[in-house]
Amino acid sequence: MTTTTPQAPGQLSGNVLFYSKPEPLAKELHSNLGVKRMDGPFGFAKAGHAIPLTVGEFPLAAVTGPIIFVGEEKLPIAVMGLNAGENMFVKDDGTFESGIYIPAYVRRYPFVFANDEQNKQMVLCIDRNAEFITDKGYDMAFFEANGEPTEYTKNCIEFCNNFEVERQRTMSFVQLLKDLDLFETKEATFTPANPDGTAGEPQKIAEYFGVSEEKLNKVPAAKFVELRDNGALGQIYAHIHSLVGWDRLIALAMTKAAEQQPAANLN
């Protein structure tokens, strides 16, 4: 795993959710920069209603909300809001609601690995636009006076390395589900109440990929035991059980809408 940045990184690519200005971390550019501590460091995640998740996080994330698979690559994500750009669990002060699982994708910010396609390697980047990166009054510097990474930076590099390992393991997990043809298209729906109290027309909230319990139950016994023994079965059930979280998100959305309604009527 690459932990240093080349002088000419070439074309960078990769998933950059939250990262508006990623730059390869280099002592020539960032020796005078550091990170300041903030009481609410997760304000940037307010815009993340769907956050990438690694398979090892499924059991913890399942308690917070739905874990679904999206796109052609069947990328697993944690659903944290019903509307694009609105994370329902990040408060205005930049902190998460109590008891909410914070995905590793969020916790590694402002660091991220990006693909250096020209040099065929991974380079460590920071989001230069992160509000807690500063050139004055910082608490943790990126580099020592001699140009070596600080202990803080080394720890962040290790976290990103571990995240990349988990990301690769997640890709293997998804490929396993594809090979067994376990995916099916699913819908999350909400049935509103009419003014007279009767049930209204169901409304589709989301369409996504999920594991089919029917297909899972038809997996040959030997393969089922293999899924159990390699830990995949537990992750599959964590995903399946997490889908009841749609009801929680809908209830939260309705509660927030009701709270805002009186204020709207006063205007």
Provide the domain limits for residue 86: 12-194+202-266
Instruction: Tell whether 7 is covered by a domain.
Output: no
Alpha helices in the chain (DSSP H): 27-30, 58-61, 104-107, 151-179, 213-217, 221-229, 232-242, 245-266
Instruction: Tell whether 28 is covered by a domain.
Output: yes
Instruction: Tell whether 110 is covered by a domain.
Output: yes
Total domains present in the chain = 1
Q: Whole-model pTM? A: 0.86
Give, for all 267 residues of the chain, the pLDDT tens digit.
333 333 333 334 444 789 999 999 999 999 999 999 999 999 999 999 999 999 999 999 999 999 999 999 999 999 999 988 899 999 999 999 999 999 999 999 999 988 877 777 888 999 999 999 999 999 999 999 999 999 999 999 999 999 999 999 999 999 999 999 999 999 998 877 777 777 778 888 899 999 999 999 999 999 999 999 999 999 999 999 999 999 999 998 888 877 776 554 555
Distance CA 112, CA 65 (A): 25
SS3 assignment, position 217 = helix
Distance CA 176, CA 35 (A): 40
- How many Cβ atoms are within 10 Å of 71's Cβ, its own excluded? 9
Instruction: Tell whether 223 is covered by a domain.
Output: yes
